[in-house]
């Protein structure tokens, strides 16, 4: 194929056991791996191709990569693996500073941007699991997308390095997942909840139904390459609302975003991270609002840009959303700001209900103030609006957190 060091190779495919093979082969040549969501539109994929300029693309037949990107199909992976290796092998020197991957992050604003990941970043990521190995004899069930940072780094690299058993599902499907658990006796399942950790209420509700299951949470970004924080024991998981302790090798700062002043524990400010697995030299400014307690547990409260500023208060939408989801008749909820002349912005909730939506919304309006913090009570008293939506509230892509909250609101007269 004539791939050389620095060339970019695109993988456009649903989950497949071939993806680790392609990734490791490409990186061994000093070439760069980039991935794309196969559910993306043709224009989104074309935009990424124009940005990274791949020399070769691996795709499944149904992706119709040729017609989408205007490239020529040169063969299939199954045919390539049957061929004998060429006697003339490319031996480009691969350095830790060299680029290994170019993964696109959806972020929270604007179009997705490529994040440059070095071989050194990946070595540090894998070394963390070797230094602190996972429980032996686990069987992992991979339902998260392998085009995403978490799936790719953990199921194409870390578990391969550890020799762990991984069952890869082509895509998430509840019935298929349960069948795989039964067939392969899977012990560990990783699911991704975009943007915010599980609340105490949701965690306790789940554990009431499934008391033998342990729930561990974690936090990371595309730019941090799965480094951030995590709960790694049952005892740590009892710290409800926390995403755990800092990953090994990771340093953190909590910084006032307005003044740049470094703050102390138990204060709600912005999280900065630094470590060998993190792509950015120096400190990575996460844009996440956090609090670190006296014992080092990290609590991610919300995206800084999504905070609703009501008078002098800051209202985190995730806290209100978590409260709304505790109502048994509410299927989904999202909190957005709406403009207000007197206070600047106030909180507006979209809720998706099973039935009796007037009753549910009246209960939310009457009860939300008594169950929230003082700041949110002030906000909700000042102008809290609840709307009913017939459609799914979030339009999450599988790439990352929702960039915009696009949902149809239907006002109700109460």
Detail the DSSP E strand segments found in 283-397: 284-292, 298-303, 308-310, 313-315, 330-340, 344-353, 385-388
Lowest mean pLDDT among 26-35, 84-93, 98-107, 135-144: 84-93
| Residue 1: partners with Cβ closer than 8 Å, 6 or more residues away | 56, 74
More confident site: 133 or 178? 178
1-5, 58-62, 365-369: segment of lowest average pLDDT: 365-369
334 DSSP β-pair partners? 350
Range name among 239-243, 345-349, 351-355, 408-412 with the lowest pLDDT average:
408-412
d(CA 324, CA 395): 19
Mean pLDDT computed over 290-315: 77
Residue 76 confidence class, pLDDT cut points 50, 70, 90 = confident
Top pLDDT among 323 and 398 is at: 323
Q: Which has the higher per-residue pLDDT, 352 or 31?
A: 31
C-alpha to C-alpha distance for 366 and 52, rounded to whole angstroms: 52
CA–CA distance, 149 with 146 (Å, rounded to integer): 7
The average confidence (pLDDT) of the chain is 78
Going by C-alpha positions, the residue among 355, 351, 344, 356 that lies closest to residue 368 is 351
CA-closest candidate to residue 270, choices 242, 231, 298, 308: 298
Quick one: pLDDT at residue 130? 87
Q: Partners of 116 in the beta sheet?
A: 102
pLDDT at 385 over 60: no
pLDDT of residue 135: 80
Residue 200 to residues 220, 238, 241, Cα–Cα distance (Å)? 20, 9, 6
pLDDT at 399: 34
> How far is it, in rounded angstroms, from Cα 317 to Cα 314?
10
Band of the pLDDT at 24, cuts 50, 70, 90?
Answer: very high
Domain residue extents for the chain:
8-94, 307-388
Residue 67 has pLDDT above 70, yes or no: no
Alpha-helical runs (H) found in 111-265: 119-131, 149-153, 159-162, 174-184, 200-209, 234-237
Q: What is the mean pLDDT of residues 295-322?
A: 72
* Distance, CA of 402 to CA of 306 (rounded, Å): 11
> How sure is the predictor about 99, in pLDDT bands with cuts at 50, 70 and 90?
very high
For residue 235, pLDDT beyond 60: yes
Could you tell me what percent of the chain has a pLDDT over 70?
Answer: 70
Domain 8-94 and domain 307-388 have a common topology? no
Which residues are within 8 A (CB) of 410 and not within 5 positions of it... i.e. 6 or more apart? 387, 388, 389, 390
Higher-confidence position of 36 and 2:
36
Contacts from 283-289 at CB under 8 Å and sequence distance 24+? 283/253, 284/221, 284/223, 284/224, 285/255, 286/221, 286/224, 287/108, 289/316
Per CATH, is 307-388 categorized as 3.40.50.2300?
no
- What is the bridge-based pairing of β-strands 344-353 and 385-388? parallel
Fold classified for 8-94: Rossmann fold (3.40.50)
**Would you say residue 405 has pLDDT above 80?**
no
pLDDT above 90: residue 152: yes
Residue 35 CA to residue 52 CA, distance in Å, equals: 10
Nearest Cα neighbor of 33 from 47, 17, 52, 16 is: 52
- Over range 380-391, report the average pLDDT: 45
Q: Rounded to an integer, what distance in angstroms lies between the CA atom of residue 290 and that of residue 297?
A: 10
Split at pLDDT 50, 70, 90, the class of 70 is low
Q: Per-residue pLDDT tens for 196-208?
A: 678 788 888 889 9
């Amino acid at each position: 194929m004539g791939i050389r060091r620095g060339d970019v190779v695109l993988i456009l495919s649903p989950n497949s056991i071939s993806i680790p093979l392609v990734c490791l082969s490409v990186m061994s040549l000093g070439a760069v791996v980039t991935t794309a969501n196969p559910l993306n539109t043709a224009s989104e994929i074309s935009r990424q191709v124009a940005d990274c300029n791949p020399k070769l693309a691996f795709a499944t037949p149904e992706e119709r990569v040729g017609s989408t990107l205007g490239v020529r199909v040169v063969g299939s992976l199954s045919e390539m693996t049957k061929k004998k290796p060429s006697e003339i092998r490319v031996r480009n020197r691969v350095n830790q500073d060299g680029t290994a991957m170019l993964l696109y992050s959806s972020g929270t604003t604007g179009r997705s941007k490529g994040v440059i990941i070095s071989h050194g970043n990946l070595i540090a990521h894998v070394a963390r699991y070797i230094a602190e190995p996972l429980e032996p004899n686990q069987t992992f069930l991979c339902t998260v997308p392998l085009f995403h940072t978490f799936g790719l780094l953990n199921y194409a690299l870390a578990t391969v390095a550890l020799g762990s058993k991984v069952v890869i599902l082509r895509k998430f499907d509840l019935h298929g997942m349960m069948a795989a658990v039964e067939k392969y006796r899977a012990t560990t399942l990783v699911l991704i909840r975009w943007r915010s950790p599980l609340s105490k209420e949701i965690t306790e509700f789940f554990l009431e139904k499934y008391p033998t299951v342990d729930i561990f949470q974690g936090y990371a970004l595309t730019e941090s390459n799965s480094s951030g924080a995590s709960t790694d024991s049952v005892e740590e998981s009892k710290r409800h609302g926390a995403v755990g302790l800092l990953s090994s090798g990771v340093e953190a700062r909590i910084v006032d975003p307005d003044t740049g002043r470094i703050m102390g524990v138990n204060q709600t400010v912005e999280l900065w991270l630094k470590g060998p697995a993190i792509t950015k030299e120096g400190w990575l400014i996460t844009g996440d609002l956090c609090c670190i307690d006296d014992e080092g547990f990290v609590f991610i409260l919300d995206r800084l840009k999504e905070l609703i500023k009501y008078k002098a208060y800051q209202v985190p939408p995730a806290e209100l959303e978590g409260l709304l989801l505790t109502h048994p008749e509410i299927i989904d909820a999202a909190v957005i700001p709406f403009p207000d002349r007197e206070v600047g912005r106030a909180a507006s909730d979209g809720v998706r209900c099973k039935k009796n939506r007037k009753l549910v919304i009246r209960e939310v309006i009457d009860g939300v103030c008594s169950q929230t913090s003082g700041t949110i009570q002030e906000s909700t008293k000042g102008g809290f609006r609840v709307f009913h939506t017939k459609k799914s509230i979030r339009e999450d892509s599988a790439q990352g957190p929702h960039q915009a909250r696009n949902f149809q609101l239907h006002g109700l007269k109460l």
